[in-house]
Every structure is written in structure tokens, then in C-alpha cells.
Amino acid sequence: MRLLVTGGLGFIGSNFIRHVLTEHPGVRVVNLDLRTYAGNPANLADLRGNPRYRWIKGDIADPFIVKRCMAGADAVVHFAAETHVDRSILDAGAFLRTNVVGTDVLLRAALKNGVERFVHVGTDEVYGSVPRGFSTESDRLLPNSPYAASKAAGDLLARSYFVTHGLPVIVTRASNNFGPYQFPEKALPLMITNWIDDKPYPLYGDGRQVRDWLYVLDHVRALDLILRRGRPGEVYNVAGGYSCANRELVERVRRLMEKPRDLVKRVPDRPGHDRRYALNFSKLKKLGYRPAHGFGAALARTVDWYRGHETWWRPLKKDGGYRAYYRRQYAARLGAAS
């Protein structure tokens, strides 16, 4: 199988590529990735020289490069996206270009090329905040952040290509991922790497926001299953099955890393911050998916991974763009600690 993966230098995409190349000797991967701030060739450094893997640097919103990459592809797994909610609050432009326009360019090229499967990797944030119960795939979409709105637009565009053109599209909606190679702007890697350096972690608002946590190695197994056994036209929720409030998460990690309480710094809340996400993923369970990693063990492995990979994350945090973002996002909130 020839697989076109987009955004394969990112966190989930790189874990997915490593997974499929390890598990399926018959798979060849072309990775179309622009190498934005969050895309990092170091995430797949171990694949250098692998004849079944090729990275092509390019923008999914560029029809010429997409046409080139799509040629000969049997299936597409589309990860490429701007993903950080806080950045979308500062400026949503790149989110619209990549998550909406880029998705449309890919869908059009996939249709022309007659691909057998197009998996659009999405997020539970499209459902908006769920005060109680669990979101099922047929629930209405009520995205609240510019990020979530752009992902909902891509998700609905993908659906429209199935309904209108018969493109065999499958949409996934996953909960909060964590694990190795996650860019240190997201909650868990920011917390862990700040604490390795005894710097404070900014906890937004009252910390009672609830998230479901999905270990990235479970997520990529689920995506592999969906690619092979999912039904075109369907949507699949993907969750880890462990949920907690942010303040509980912080306490867990703090105890695990043996850090003092004063490294948790309450800061003003994120505007429009969703209080709770929760997914019903029984449809995916019927396909045969079960999370293989318990949350506690996966969290401990993740902390160990960041402790053991300082050469991976330190250059990212030293980068001028990261520092400018961090200052803009946190300086007023954290004071001198930024």
C-alpha cells in the first residue's frame, strides 16, 4: 500500500508513520509536510535512509505539490493542521489556510486520483463543551475556539466530498493526545519541561476543565485500524478512556516529578475555554479498538521520555519564535518566570 501522510513531521503524524512502517512491511509512506514550527525532522530521524519512507517538503494548500504527492497514492491519512488553541486566539489566519483551504486542496486531488481511503484526522473539540454525558458521532458540532471552528470546517468539507462525490472519506475525532514528540506548547509537555527546569506551569482559571487523555501510541493504533477497517462516510470518536480535571492532572504530574506546589501558578483563564470534553467511543470499540496503555503507566513513560530527550526539546524552547510566543502568551501572567 502506498500511503500519503500529511503533517507527518508533527507529533501524532510522526508517531503514526513510525507505527505503520514497523507494523506493515508492505507499506510505503510519502510524507508531505511543510515543516512549520511544530513539524520537526528530528521526530523521524530514525527513518533516515529507510527506502519505504520519503519526506516531501510542501504546503497542503499548494495544488501543484499536492498533485505530485498524490500520484500513485492508494490512501491518504491527513494530519497536517495548525493545532494550538491559544495560537488560534492570537491569530486564526494560518488555521483557516491549512485546516480548511489545505484540506479542500487535498480532498480535490484525492478525488481526481481515485484514492481508496481518505482519513481526515480530527478532534473532539468540534463538539464544543459537553457539560454532561458523552459526545457521540452524530452529535451536532458547536466549536468554540477559532482552532476548533477551522477543524470543524475541514471535517464537514471531508463529509461533503463523500456525500457529493463519493470520495471514500472517514473522519476521526480524537481527545487530548499526549506522549513522545509533542511540541512543548501543549499542556503536558509544557508542564513536564518547565518542571524539569523548576519553572512554574501556568494553570488556566480554576483548573476544573475536564479533558479525556489519549496516549498517542493508542491513537495511532486506532487510526491504523480505522484506515483498514473503517467504513467510508463514517465518523469515529477516538478516546483514551481516562478523564480528569486539569488541576488533578497537574497534581498527578507534580507528585510523579516530586516538585513543590509553588510550581503551579494559577493564571487568568483562556478566553472561551471549554469546560469539558468527553467522548463515547463505542463505535470504534466495535471495530476492535481498546486502549492498550493504562493512563498512569503512559504518563510515567511520557515524563521519562522528556527527561531522556532534552536534546530534542531544549532547542525547540530556545528558538526565537517559541520564546516570542511564550512571552506574548505568558509573560504578563507569569511575570519574571517567563
Kindly state the number of chain residues that form the binding site for ligand TYD, as judged by CB under 6 A: 12
Residue 30's DSSP bridge partners are 4, 54
Residue 125 or 137: the one with the smaller Cβ distance to ligand TYD is 125
CB atoms within 10 A of CB 68: 14
Residue 168 or 202: the one with the smaller Cβ distance to ligand TYD is 202
Stretch in the footprint of ligand TYD (CB under 6 A) among 13-21, 54-62, 204-212, 215-223: 204-212
Residue 31 or 40: the one with the smaller Cβ distance to ligand TYD is 40
Residue 168 or 180: the one with the smaller Cβ distance to ligand TYD is 180
Residue 226 or 264: the one with the smaller Cβ distance to ligand TYD is 264
Stretch in the footprint of ligand TYD (CB under 6 A) among 21-29, 196-204, 229-237, 298-306: 196-204
Q: What is the DSSP string of 288-304?
A: T----S-HHHHHHHHHH
> What residues from 211 to 230 belong to the interface with ligand TYD (CB under 6 A)?
211
Contact 150, 176 (CB under 8 A): no
DSSP three-state, residue 215: strand
Question: Nearest CA to 255 among 266, 264, 268?
Answer: 264
> Residue 202, interface with ligand TYD (CB under 6 A)?
yes
> Residue 238, interface with ligand TYD (CB under 6 A)?
no
> Residue 186, interface with ligand TYD (CB under 6 A)?
yes
Tell which one of 61, 65, 66, 85 touches ligand TYD (CB under 6 A).
Answer: 85
Report which DSSP code applies to 49. Answer: T
DSSP three-state, residue 143: coil
**How far apart are the C-alpha atoms of 138 and 236, rounded to whole Å?**
10
Question: Nearest CA to 98 among 233, 216, 3, 7?
Answer: 7
Angle at 244 between CA 241 and CA 245, to 5 degrees: 150
**How far apart are the C-alpha atoms of 186 and 329, rounded to whole Å?**
12
Stretch in the footprint of ligand TYD (CB under 6 A) among 50-58, 91-99, 202-210, 291-299: 202-210
Q: Give the interface with ligand TYD as residue ranges (CB under 6 A).
A: 85, 125, 176, 186-187, 190, 202-204, 209, 211, 246
